[in-house]
Amino acid sequence: MSYLALARKYRPRRFEDVIGQPHVVKALAHALAGDKLHPAILLTGTRGVGKTTLARIIAKGLNCETGVSANPCGQCSACREVDEGRFVDLLEIDAASRTKVDDTRAMLDNVQYSPVRGRYKVYLIDEVHMLSGHSFNALLKTLEEPPPHVKFILATTDPQKLPITVLSRCLQFNLKRMPVALIRERLTKVLQAEGVEPEPGAVAEIARAADGSMRDGLSLLDQALAFCGGAPNRAAVEEMLGTIGRQTLFDILGALAQGDAGGVLAAIEKLDGQAPDYSALLSDLAAHLQRVAVLQVLPQARSDEDEAALVDLARKLPAEDVQLYYQIAVLGRRDLPWTPDPRLGFEMALLRMLAFRPETGGGSSPAAPGGRPQAAAAGSQAAASGAVPGAPASSWAQRIESLGLEGFNKQLARHCVVQDEQGGVLRLALDAKMKHLLQEERRAALEQALARQSGQPLRVVIELVAGAVGTPAQQEAQQAVDRQRAAEAAIESDPAVRALKEKFGATIRPGSVQPIEK
């Protein structure tokens, strides 16, 4: 007997077996249970998430010999023939290869005839967006008023390309991408059913490479079983997928967190011996950094997909370093085709991360040849502005500016005033009118930035105070008012203006006087 691919062998046969799409399964099951299925259904979603599988289950539910049901028996001749792909009243049409209007008309000519075996003729039109405009026009009338014995199931990965006239005639269901954890769990069960003891790391790599597609995950698992000649192991799977440098990327990020230039270069040498795809590595590096940034802002967003090394980096890497490294990785990948050699471009991107690492980012700056500390971009800017990295500023407003905060995090700080600072605790008063700014993640971001600035652990406590005065925001607003008043007074006292007012009765238009920013 010929080998049956895992994607076909473990294709769901019932609604209960479909995973990851409960919102679609529930609606379809209710419709079938009452024999009230809409005559035209549109299933959308990326490849390998269950569009064709659901269509076949619907065909079984409509034509099962026990009656129309959301739970077809799976044993009658109609159910078995659908599962085997030979049910005469289930017509699977590949729109990508039958785009011409003549093909569509030939199909529609047969719609009027009654089913041969079952209760309903089910037309499954896959990749329906590939049909031509004339083909859609030919299909419209039939979709709107199909014969009672016909059901249309349209499937597409690109619903935006469908005419609005077609969309309006269909009941649309959007199938979700599969989470990595769900794919990993399914692949583990398949391996166990095949009598293979899975290695968690290998299964996790395959699940990530599946990119949201359960079918792709099963196909890659098939490939891994053949590649490894048995139970897949992580090293072999990484080699098969070309993701062999994933663990080394964590080593690189760890070395960057320590400012260890030698460790970074040693990791690059290790990578080079594995002949990796450096463009893919930079993409993976950027993806790691993006996830680190998310975990730093929202620690509660951690999921089972986040490896321990990633969570550890979220604690070690300063937030501003993460943002800088991400930008360098993205730009480095863009510039990779113009480099003399891909490895050199990858190496230069990492060296750039070391060279422009902010001095206030924790840890020591990377050492240049001869043992001299490497100049850092943020440190140079701080020195140019007169601020000393790592030291408290002369006032709360100056201190805020030296933190490098942005957005709402900075606004929270600007609407606070220092009440007391002692024993490693900084107490701030927040103007009660601005209480909407006080959120835990913003307070934590301010606390982290202040701790990095002082180089010591620091706890920030923020209290709401009615009528709090002296905040940087209030000071800036008052300064703006004073500048406006001074500008208006200067205009009023100008001799030329006074002469115009006295001789011609001129007036100064309200709001037209603006202070000059120095």
The residue count of the chain comes to 518
User: Which of 317-335 are b and which e, b meaning 16 or more Cβ less than 10 Å from the residue's Cβ?
Assistant: bbbbbbebbbebbbebbee
Give the integer Cα–Cα distance in Å for 33 and 124: 21
3-state secondary structure (DSSP) of residue 173: strand
For 309-329, the pLDDT digits (tens) are 888 888 888 888 999 999 999
Q: Tell me the average pLDDT across 433-442.
A: 89
Are 138 and 36 contained in the same domain?
yes
Q: Are residues 102 and 65 in the same domain?
A: yes
| Domain containing residue 205: CATH number | 1.10.8.60
In a domain, 516, yes or no: no
pLDDT of residue 27: 94
Mean pLDDT of all residues in 480-490 = 85
Q: Which of these three, 153, 174, 195, is where a domain ends?
A: 174
Residues 6+ apart with CB under 8 A from 99: 130, 131, 132, 135
What's the rounded Cα separation, in Å, for the pair 202 and 224? Answer: 9
* CA 393 – CA 401 distance, rounded (Å): 9
Same domain, 38 and 137: yes
The residue assigned the tokens 């690492």 is 357
Which residue, 335, 361, 387, sits at the end of a domain?
361
Query: Where residue 1 falls among pLDDT bands split at 50, 70, 90?
Result: low
Domain holding 307: CATH number?
Answer: 1.20.272.10
Alpha-carbon distance of 72 to 13, in angstroms, equals 9
DSSP string across 48-71: TSSHHHHHHHHHHHHH-TT-S-SS
The answer to whether position 385 is within a domain reads no
Domain extent for 187: 180-241
Which of 194-203, 212-221, 241-250, 355-364: highest mean pLDDT?
212-221
Cross-strand bridge partners of residue 153 = 41, 124
Domain co-membership, 125 together with 41 = yes
Whether 140 and 275 share a structural domain: no
Domain contains 47: yes
Which range is least confidently modeled, 34-48, 291-305, 414-428, 504-518?
A: 504-518
- 102 & 196 share domain: no
Q: How many CB atoms lie within 10 A of CB 364?
A: 12
Determine contact, residues 33/72, Cβ cutoff 8 Å: no
Q: Are strands 425-431 and 416-422 parallel, antiparallel or unpaired?
A: antiparallel
Q: Pseudo-torsion of CA 269, 272, 273, 278, nearest 10°?
A: 150
Same domain, 282 and 201: no
Q: Could you report the per-residue pLDDT of 217-248, keeping only the tens digit for each?
A: 999 999 999 998 888 888 888 878 876 666 78
In a shared domain, residues 82 and 214: no
Per DSSP, the three-state class of 413 is helix
Q: Which two tokens stand for residue 67?
A: 């009656």
If asked whether residues 93 and 157 sit together in one domain, one would say: yes
CA 112 vs CA 135, 139, 224: distances in Å: 18, 13, 47
- Examine the fold and report which residue of 210, 241, 272 is the final residue of a domain before the chain moves on: 241
pLDDT for residue 349: 92
pLDDT higher than threshold 50 for residue 334:
yes
- Which pair of tokens denotes residue 211? 């990119």
80-120, pLDDT tens digit by residue?
999 998 999 999 998 888 778 888 888 888 898 999 989 99
pLDDT exceeds cutoff 50 at 500: yes
* Of the listed ranges 37-46, 148-157, 486-495, the one predicted with least confidence: 486-495
Local confidence band at 365 (pLDDT 50, 70, 90 cut-offs): very low
Please tell me the total count of domains within the chain. Answer: 4
Residue 379 lies in a domain: no
In a domain, 500, yes or no: no
Whole-number average pLDDT of the chain? 84
User: What's the DSSP call for residue 116?
Assistant: S
Nearest-angstrom CA–CA distance, 186 and 15: 16
Q: Do the Cβ atoms of 361 and 320 come closer than 8 Å?
A: yes
Which CATH number characterizes residue 437's domain? Answer: 3.30.300.150
The model's pTM is 0.61
* pLDDT band, residue 166 (cuts 50/70/90): very high
Q: Percent of the chain beyond pLDDT 70?
A: 90
- Say how far apart CA 325 and CA 291 lie, in whole Å: 13
Residue 475 forms part of a structural domain: no
Q: Are 160 and 210 contained in the same domain? A: no
Does residue 260 sit in the same domain as residue 130? no
Determine which of 15-19, 158-162, 195-199 has the lowest per-residue pLDDT on average: 195-199
Mean pLDDT (whole number) for 398-407 = 87
236 lies in some domain: yes
Residue 28 sits in a domain whose CATH number is 3.40.50.300
Specify whether 157 is located in the same domain as 203: no
Q: Is residue 19 part of a domain?
A: yes
